[in-house]
Structure 1
């Protein structure tokens, strides 16, 4: 046999040996990997799967119908920890040499197809240990992908507290090791993208939140069909609260956040964004007056921002084409008073917390809308978060309001209805946490009033007659003006404060005799 043929024969035998060795190793890994992992004390899960394809030469693995079950929680009635099913798990180009020599995982790509994960509540300390155990060495990956996943976070009653479907997720340039896992964000990465739909969140005793879809990519967030719904009817909610408290219903067609930057600076969370846009918001705020008053002091908005313990910086928040309603009900035997702001456009500038900042620009709120679906309303509101007196200025202007549109407010709360036209109302209100003062001016014509008995069902003829004698029918083509001062009720909101100012302005200009003599 020639020397060349011998070399070919030897190479052929070596190649066959390598192939057989590879096949043998693949078979061994496929059959033995679950028992190896399940016997590893530091690995906290039982692992099983229906089939596995292994290619040691390329470092590619494909696992079918994988199941992950915590070793310390197998009872279906008392589950704790994470339970997962993955239809197909693909691992691309695992560096086996580094895994063998250094016991570190270095892989180019991991793809989880149709994972279904249920996370049950567990002791907090045990949760942290479970997370740390698999990361004693290091894991690096070029890309992690999740395709068409489902995730459920269960509460102590094993009911969904968070549920998301059709999850797609991609994370690139990933590193996790014993250092990163101890940090606030347990991995380092470069880019990420996330999307899901049919998201549900149980927001506690009173509310549930739904999202039609959520997309996060390139440091931007886009959410559609947001709904925050009360769990109780108004009567149920009123019966269960010990003191007065608002009930909220909020919907939004879309919420967009541009170029959000977030993370931790040492141990301080920071969230920065140049713009947040909310489209077609409907917000209803309902308050029953049947429960007793809440005597606690209410913070003004500057104080609320000053109390935030993380670094918040939102340069601009915009509400477009929205509707805001406030309803207040003295008793369920009568309809609530209702204030409506439609075609609501608002721009809020400089929403900052003081964390990490020595000076702050003024927060400014500009609003244009229709008041009671009838009259154009413009409001400019300014305050500074760092001002510990919580001073603010609100400037407003309402035009061409038929006064009968105010009857939704005045009849339930004051047993008064009016007819006529409020041509123009202008006010400047300067306030702080203690008191407020400012200027009120009104132009009106053809004003008539009707006063009702205490139950609101029948007109009080004598008081109506006297009221129309005392109220001037119009402002004689000019403005009626007054300088107004009011004391703040500290157990009420800033909007109650503003209402006290406006109410006092009306008393001193349009309704002085009516308010002081007839009612």
Structure 2
């Protein structure tokens, strides 16, 4: 056996082991304390390729004739116990896929492979951890590998597989690390617990690394689940199809520092993003359960950021897909129920069709009763004003496209007062507030007061900025006379 392995000159790896138990009559061989190392690893200062240490490899049902007269070892099953793999990348051209395939190309063909209690670490070109997976258990059945399959995106054919691991770490970029626990996936399902996307920098440091403004995300999810999923490649095109994706107890914080220079590049609307995906995506429903989303925007470090908070957030997104390989193009629909600023019920319905190249969409919303003092954390930094009074109900319909919007805004309110602030200050602009409150229509007399609204899109800002411009204009047209519609602008 050592001679047979050594004679495999086309394999760029040394394969050694401490000892082996060989039973020729049954075709079973067990290797103990095996090591796999690149053949040139002793001559290079920097490590490159895969280094593997395995406690035990049990190969059963070996075909003796394929060993003696063929160029591969064929077996019924291979069981690998406690493997530890360190994969070093030297250059961008040395891909993980190619490096990990090299030791196994023409060495073993088997029907079943099992891995127990494995560990895997990927190190970048500076030999810093880029990925770390612990507690790996894996099985794959009815495996077939031949010269044709090796040319495919997935270099083998199989009946099914099962993968479990205790924890996953991935260094996604210079800004974020991704982690998850208790990952379980098969050829038809996927579940991961305690997903986290954690920034590597504090907010001030993050902003200092940017040339133009960008959101910083902190995202946690108790569980991400795809109970039934199909994926693979068709004519070299990746496809991912699933009737349902469940995101349970997501806690997301989105921070934007406005002290960084504006990014004047045109921002794509969501319909365009989906339309331009380069793979076949089809998800019938995404369900977001019992979640929380907070958006914070900060103009200077001397003032706290303005904060929008949506808690007890439940959403269903229907027909999330790309146009590739689709005969039908149904409307994408998003239904949201949540509490706005912790206390006020909010319902939103959002629809669009990804094939509409004008990117038309409609957002309908209904906001319940709220004391406007709860809005000061938004209005002060974003509108340069504070308010007091009660809003009993807000209803709006927002029709938009990539250029502009129109629709209706209606509000029922009473005892409303507006205090305008001095520019870039917490101090009240007494004169403007006095004049404004003389003119403010501080009651709607128990009825929904409606106004027609138009708003232009600022193309280098987000969809949510577009919606905010619409609502902001609706608020001003409802409570202020026309002469004061422009006050409070920054």
TM-score range, shorter chain: over 0.9
Q: Shift in Å at residue 458 of structure 1?
A: 2.4
**Structure having the higher Rg:** 1
State the 1:38 CA deviation.
Answer: 3.5
Q: Does 1:85 align with 2:53?
A: yes
Partner in structure 1 of residue 136 of structure 2: 167
Gaps of 5+ in 2: none
Residues of 2 paired with 1:82 and 1:279: CA distance? 37
Preserved CA contact (<8 Å) 2:409 2:452 = yes
Q: Which residue of 2 aligns with 1:263?
A: 232
**Between Structure 1 and Structure 2, which shows a larger proportion of helix residues?**
1
Q: Distance in 2 between matches of 1:146 and 1:516?
A: 67
> Contact 2:38/2:49 (CA < 8 Å) preserved in 1?
yes
CA deviations over 1:128-174 (Å, ceiling 9, x no partner): 77667666658542210000000011101111111000000000001
Confirm whether residue 100 of structure 1 aligns to residue 68 of structure 2.
yes
- Distance change (3 Å), C-alpha of 1:130 and 1:400: closer
- Please state how far the C-alpha of 1:97 moved relative to its aligned partner: 2.3
Greater Cα shift, 135-144 or 371-380: 135-144
Instruction: Give 3-state SS (helix, strand or coil) of 1:228's partner.
Output: strand
User: Once structures 1 and 2 are overlaid, which stretch shifts more, 217-226 or 316-325?
Assistant: 217-226
Structure 2 vs 1, CA of residues 64 and 138 (structure 1 numbering), >3 Å: closer, same or farther? closer
- 1:64 paired residue number: 32
Q: 1:461-506, CA deviations, whole angstroms, 9 ceiling, x for partnerless residues?
A: 3333222211122101112111111111111111111111111111
- The separation in 2 between residues aligned to 1:518 and 1:300, in whole angstroms, is 28
Confirm or deny that 1:456 pairs with 2:425: yes
Inter-partner Cα distance in structure 2 for 1:408 and 1:514: 22
Q: Which residue of 2 aligns with 1:386?
A: 355
Match of residue 115 from structure 1: 83
CA–CA distance in 1 between the matches of 2:160 and 2:419? 66
Q: 2:205 aligns with which of 236, 243, 247?
A: 236
**8 Å Cα contact 2:13-2:103 kept in structure 1:** no
- Residue in 1 aligned with 2:42? 74
Please state how far the C-alpha of 1:198 moved relative to its aligned partner. 2.1
User: Structure 1 residues 427, 402: closer, same or farther in 2, change over 3 A?
Assistant: same
Give the secondary-structure state (helix, strand or coil) at the position aligned to 1:61. strand
Higher mean alpha-carbon deviation, 321-330 vs 97-106, is at 97-106
Partner of 2:171: 202
- Please say if residues 132 and 178 of structure 1, whose CA atoms lie closer than 8 Å, have aligned partners that are also in contact: no
Alignment partner of 2:270 out of 274, 278, 301: 301
- The alignment status of 1:251 with 2:224, answered yes or no, reads no
Contact kept? 1:42, 1:133, Cα under 8 Å: no
Q: Which residue of 2 aligns with 1:11?
A: none
Determine if contact 1:139/1:175 at 8 Å carries over to the other structure. no
Residues 213-224 of structure 1: matches in 2 within 5 Å? 213-217=182-186, 219-224=188-193
Contact 2:50 2:99 (8 Å CA) reproduced: no
The residue that corresponds to 1:335 in the other structure is 304
Say if 1:330 and 1:336, in contact at 8 Å, map to a contact too.
yes
Task: Confirm or deny that 1:352 pairs with 2:318.
Answer: no
Distance in 2, matches of 1:183 and 1:242, equals 41
Number of equivalences: 487
Give the RMSD, CA atoms, in angstroms: 1.9
Alignment of structure 1 residues 413-492 onto 2, 5 Å:
413-492=382-461
Q: Is the 8 A contact 1:208 1:228 kept in 2?
A: yes
Q: Deviations over 1:432-472 (max 9, x none)?
A: 11111001101001112223223433233333322221112
Seen in structure 2, the aligned counterparts of structure 1 residues 245 and 131 have a Cα distance that, compared at 3 Å, is closer
- Aligned to 2:61, the other structure's residue is in SS state strand
Paired residue secondary structure (2:320): strand
Q: What's the counterpart of residue 284 of structure 1? A: 253
Indicate which of 9, 28, 37 corresponds to 2:5.
Answer: 37
Bigger mean CA offset, 122-131 vs 331-340: 122-131
Task: State the shift of 1:419 in Å.
Answer: 1.1
Q: SS at 1:361's partner residue?
A: coil
**Residue of structure 2 equivalent to 1:7:** none
Deviation at 1:48, TM superposition (A): 1.6
User: Shift of the alpha carbon at 1:291?
Assistant: 1.3
SS of structure 1 residue aligned to 2:142: strand
- Give the equivalent residue in structure 2 for 1:22: none
- The answer to whether the 8 A contact 2:90-2:124 is kept is no
Change (3 A) 1:403 1:354: same
Structure 2 distance, partners of 1:95, 1:404, is 79
Corresponding position of 1:25: none
Residues of 2 paired with 1:40 and 1:518: CA distance?
77
Q: 1:491 to 1:441 in 2, by over 3 A?
A: same
C-alpha separation in 2, matches of 1:266 and 1:501 = 45
Distance 1:518 1:494 in 2: 22
SS at match of 1:49: strand
State the Cα distance separating 1:104 from its structure 2 match.
3.9
Per the alignment, residue 49 of structure 1 pairs with: 17
Greater alpha carbon shift after TM alignment, 117-126 vs 390-399: 117-126
Deviations 1:67-114 (A, max 9, x none): 100012235740110000001111111111233233343311111100
Unaligned ranges ≥5, structure 1:
1-28
Q: Is the 8 A contact 1:162 1:200 kept in 2?
A: yes
Q: What residue is the counterpart of 1:412 in the other structure?
A: 381
Q: TM-score of the superposition, structure 1-length normalised?
A: 0.90
Distance 1:492 1:518 in 2: 20
TM-score, with length taken from structure 2? 0.95
